[in-house]
């Protein structure tokens, strides 16, 4: 789904003594069927930007285009709700939001909330649970009986079940072990590459994931866009990146030796930041 930010500014608590401009002069285009990675220090504006892209926040100035909808300062709440059907959000530690008595009910909750019948929602829920690798024998169990990694998968299935066109992932692997991290990242990629309708926006501190999966990297700094381009273009500007504390010399060297990323060839992009 095409998404764009046009001259976006966002200020928290306008008119109060705590007024804080979190983003300004943001101009960005997210092409349909693209994998965008947002990087930047804490406080650089990443969460604010993703909340603008899923209709949780409205810009103070400028506009956000999401598919054929435009969100401005005065956009009505109902239109923001419509946007949320198309843009799914996996928050950090999404398993903290599980609450139903069974796994199946939990996963079906999202689509039902968006107006789907129970039958249809459960069908979608089962498809999503299969995709994230939760066995059928567990569907009637409580999500709280599961391991941490499995709970995360159930929570992710809950977002996928609503059939979003764009998926926003905010540090989705936080707290998982290395294998669990890789499995979850691959799962999202699998979801993404199945259909040309789908896009991903990933917020991460993992440069290897940024390079491996991203078509486009956006580096935010103090509420503005510091750098943007393909992973190769961005990492090759290592000097500017290092100033933000985000890169290491070997990243630059490794990226220089990499082929251009193309879908289906992501294995060629596997590398490790700290190996020389
Ligand atoms: P990041 O996700 O990159 O850590 P944020 O978007 O959370 O950055 O924050 C950007 C800026 O906005 C920071 O200076 C932060 O302190 C401020 N901020 C974030 N949320 C709020 C809020 N609810 N009220 C006031 N200021 C906020």
Question: Looking at the 3D structure of the chain, how many domains does it have?
Answer: 1
- Supply the residue whose CA is at minimum distance from atom 18 of ligand 1: 22
- What's the 137 CA to ligand 1 centre distance in angstroms? 42
Q: What's the sign of the alpha-carbon dihedral 150, 207, 49, 1?
A: negative
66 belongs to a structural domain: yes
Q: Is 16 in the pocket of ligand 1 (CB under 6 A)?
A: no
Atom of ligand 1 nearest to the CA of 18: 25
| Residue 99, domain member (yes or no) | no
H/E element holding 153?
helix 148-160
Position 106 in a domain: no
What is the per-residue pLDDT for 261? 46
What does the pLDDT read at residue 265? 37
Q: How many angstroms separate the alpha carbon of residue 178 from the centre of ligand 1?
A: 29
Output the pLDDT for position 240: 59
Reduced to 3 states (helix: H, G, I; strand: E, B; else coil), residue 34 is: coil
In a domain, 255, yes or no: yes
Q: Which domain holds residue 58?
A: 3-92+171-269
Q: Measured from the CA of 42, which atom of ligand 1 is nearest? A: 4
Assigned token pair, 207? 């440069």
- Where would I find the beta strands (DSSP E) of the chain? 3-12, 20-30, 35-39, 61-66, 69-71, 87-90, 166-170, 199-203, 216-221, 224-229
- Alpha-carbon distance of 50 to 26, in angstroms, equals 12
Residue of 8, 12, 18, 37 to test ligand 1 pocket, by largest number of atoms within 8 Å of CB: 12
Ligand 1: centre distance to CA 126 (Å): 37
- 17-30 burial, b at 16+ Cβ within 10 Å, e below that, comes to eeeebbbbebebeb
Confirm or reject: Cβ of 12 under 6 Å from ligand 1: yes
Q: What is the 3-state secondary structure (H, E, C) of 172-203?
A: CCCCCCHHHHHHHHHHHHHHHHCCCCCEEEEE
Residue whose CA is at the smallest distance from ligand 1 atom 14: 43
What spacing in Å lies between the alpha carbon of 37 and ligand 1's midpoint?
A: 19
Ligand 1 touching residue 204 (CB < 6 A):
no
Measure 42 CA to ligand 1 centroid, in angstroms. Answer: 8
Whether residue 41 is contained in a domain is answered as yes
Supply the DSSP symbol for 97.
G
Residue 256 in any domain: the answer is yes
In angstroms, the CA 220 to CA 275 distance is: 26
CATH number at residue 178: 3.40.50.300
User: What stretches in the chain show pLDDT beneath 50?
Assistant: 258-276
Ligand 1 mutation pick, 17, 39, 48, max ligand atoms within 8 A of CB:
48
Is 214 among the domain residues? yes
Query: Are 10 and 48 a contacting pair, CB within 8 Å?
Result: yes
């Amino acid at each position: 789904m095409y998404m764009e930010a046009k001259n976006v500014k966002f200020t928290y608590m306008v008119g109060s003594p705590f007024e804080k401009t979190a983003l300004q002069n943001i101009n960005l285009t997210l092409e349909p069927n693209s994998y965008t990675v947002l990087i930047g220090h804490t406080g650089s504006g990443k969460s604010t930007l993703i909340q603008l892209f899923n209709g949780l926040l409205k810009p103070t100035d400028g506009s956000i285009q999401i598919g054929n909808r435009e969100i401005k300062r005065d956009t009505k709440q109902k239109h923001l709700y419509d946007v949320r059907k198309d843009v799914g959000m996996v928050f950090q530690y999404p398993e903290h939001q599980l609450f139903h008595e069974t796994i199946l009910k939990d996963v079906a909750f999202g689509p039902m909330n968006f107006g789907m019948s129970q039958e249809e929602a459960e069908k979608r829920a089962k498809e999503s649970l299969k995709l994230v690798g939760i066995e059928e024998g567990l569907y009637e169990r409580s999500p709280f009986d599961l391991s941490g990694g499995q709970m995360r998968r159930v929570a992710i299935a809950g977002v996928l079940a609503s059939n979003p066109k764009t998926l926003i992932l905010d540090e989705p692997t936080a707290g998982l072990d290395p294998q669990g991290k890789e499995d979850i990242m691959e799962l999202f990629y699998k979801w993404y590459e199945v259909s040309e309708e789908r896009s991903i926006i990933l917020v991460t501190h993992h440069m290897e994931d940024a390079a491996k999966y991203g078509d486009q990297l956006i580096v935010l700094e103090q509420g503005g866009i510091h750098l943007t381009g393909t992973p190769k273009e961005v990492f090759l500007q290592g000097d500017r990146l290092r100033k933000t504390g985000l890169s290491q010399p070997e990243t630059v060297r490794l990226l220089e030796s990499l082929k251009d990323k193309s879908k289906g060839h992501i294995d060629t992009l596997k590398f490790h930041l700290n190996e020389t």
